[in-house]
Structure 1
Amino acid sequence: MNNFTKFMTFVVVSILSILPSTSGQCCFPDQWTANLVETTGEYNQDLDSASLAYINREVYYDYTGKQFAYLEDRDNRTAHIKTQTKIIIKYIEGKKYTIVSKTCTVESISTSMESPCIPDDATSFGTHSYPAGVKASVWFVPDKVNGGSKRISVTQEDCLPLSESIISGGPDYILRMSLYQNVTKGISDPTAFNIPAICNHKDTLYFRKHLR
């Protein structure tokens, strides 16, 4: 190996050593429960309209059973409208249930449940500590399909979610900031995945049939 080759090898190794690292080895628990406090801002470029909403969610994530559910209280500060919505997604069945008041909408879905692991193409943004001594790792995840990205903060010790910020690609731009609270392993309320009787009503079934 001549001196030039040695020099170039040194340069490449040096550059790689200072680049942010990537890893997909950090994984959330397969089952967890949390409360989320969110602030969502939206700007639709085509309609030239903007909105701001404050959201509180009780979230139930069950990768083992391939299901996801949350109860959401939304305060749309732009339209001055408050709503409560229950979402249940059964990935094995390919169904998404949306319950608002006494109305249930059932949709067919074909997507797979997102893995609980940080993706392999994520970039590490380093670590930091909270005042209580909790050490956190920060990851940047690009959305290569739809544009936009998200930044996720997790505990270093067991990869529990702490915070998340998401920005979507246009023309409907959405910026969502989420703070995870009371995160616990396991499902605190298994009945959260129970499908309400109203979702089996004949009117709901009719609507579901025509969504396909």
Structure 2
Amino acid sequence: MFRQIICLIISVLSVLHQVFSRQSCCIPKQWTGVATQKLGRYDHDVDVASLADVITHVAYSYDDRKISLQQEVYNITIGFKEQVHVIYEFKEGIQYIITNGDYCISYPLGGDMWSGCVPDNATHLGTYNISGPVVDIYRVASLGGGIIRYSVSNPFCYPTTESLLTPGPVYDLKVSVYENVTEGISDPSVFKVPVFCHHSQIKKKYISSTIAELIHSAFSWR
């Protein structure tokens, strides 16, 4: 069930490229930040619910076609903590998931890396002041039929907030707040794949109604 917690975060990554901007606005080609997230999943068919708190250190480099997500996951449902490091290597077409620094699974990636620019089908909901910062808020439909609502800073186009809600029978809810977002990559070593990962067999994409799956798929840029 814990692996159930790790894919709300990657399903949301699947949509962040659509999420992070107003029309004519793109996130920086390289940036880092911290996302504080609440993830939940309810599978109506089996009547099982899961809830998790996640703190994710994000490093995004479009120049290198790489993304690093260093996650501290607390599965509230079963009271279990875990360290997860997800590395996307789009040039090689592989996604690595390293758990607690000693277990690695790799999966093939489909498609090219998202550029981080606002999609043409995003609806601009308005420009607002959030206790100081000015942000633009958008709504966009995800590929899986979910609805994403997100905000980016104006004028720098840094991500500030995001929420995702998907339709049933498996319902996913993710709420994220981004902090300490800065342009550039201060520590390129976060993209380094451990040697032992290269000895693992690349597995086919799996489908399950687990929260773990969510964490490995939950950033909307995808």
When normalised by structure 2's length, the TM-score is 0.79
State the match for 2:109 in structure 1: 109
State the match for 1:164 in structure 2: 162
Q: Classify the secondary structure of the residue corresponding to 1:99.
A: strand
* C-alpha contact (below 8 Å) 2:93/2:109 kept by paired residues: yes
State the match for 1:195 in structure 2: 193
Q: Classify the secondary structure of the residue corresponding to 2:189.
A: helix
CA deviation digits over 1:145-194, x for unaligned, max 9? 31111111111111111010011232211110000000000112111101
CA 1:30–1:38 in 2, change beyond 3 Å: closer, same or farther? same
CA distance in 2 between counterparts of 1:137 and 1:73 reads: 29
CA distance in 1 between counterparts of 2:118 and 2:149 reads: 11
Q: 1:23 Cα deviation (Å)? A: 5.7
* C-alpha contact (below 8 Å) 1:35/1:180 kept by paired residues: yes
State the match for 2:216 in structure 1: none
Q: 1:43 Cα deviation (Å)? A: 0.6
* C-alpha contact (below 8 Å) 1:24/1:121 kept by paired residues: no
Give the partner amino acid of 1:85. V
State the match for 1:16 in structure 2: none
Give the partner amino acid of 1:190. P
CA deviation digits over 1:102-159, x for unaligned, max 9? 111111222221221111110011011122x21111011112x311111111111111
Give the partner amino acid of 2:145. G
Q: 1:211 Cα deviation (Å)? A: 3.8
* 1:62-141 mapped onto 2 (5 Å cutoff): 62-101=61-100, 102-131=102-131, 133-141=132-140
State the match for 2:54 in structure 1: 55
Give the partner amino acid of 1:108. P
CA distance in 2 between counterparts of 1:109 and 1:157 reads: 32
CA distance in 2 between counterparts of 1:170 and 1:115 reads: 29
CA 1:199–1:23 in 2, change beyond 3 Å: closer, same or farther? closer
CA deviation digits over 1:75-119, x for unaligned, max 9? 111111111100001011000111012111111222221221111
* C-alpha contact (below 8 Å) 1:66/1:113 kept by paired residues: yes
* C-alpha contact (below 8 Å) 2:22/2:152 kept by paired residues: no
* C-alpha contact (below 8 Å) 1:23/1:120 kept by paired residues: no
* C-alpha contact (below 8 Å) 2:123/2:138 kept by paired residues: yes
Q: Classify the secondary structure of the residue corresponding to 2:144.
A: coil
* 1:6-45 mapped onto 2 (5 Å cutoff): 24-45=23-44
Q: Which runs of 5+ in 2 are unaligned?
A: 1-20, 206-222
Q: Which runs of 5+ in 1 are unaligned?
A: 1-21
Please give the root-mean-square deviation of Cα atoms over the aligned residues, in Å: 1.6
Q: Classify the secondary structure of the residue corresponding to 1:147.
A: coil
Give the partner amino acid of 1:194. K
Identity across aligned pairs (percent)?
35
Q: Which stretches of structure 1, 4 residues or more, deviate above 2 A after TM superposition?
A: none
State the match for 1:14 in structure 2: none
CA distance in 2 between counterparts of 1:23 and 1:39 reads: 24
Paired residue total:
184
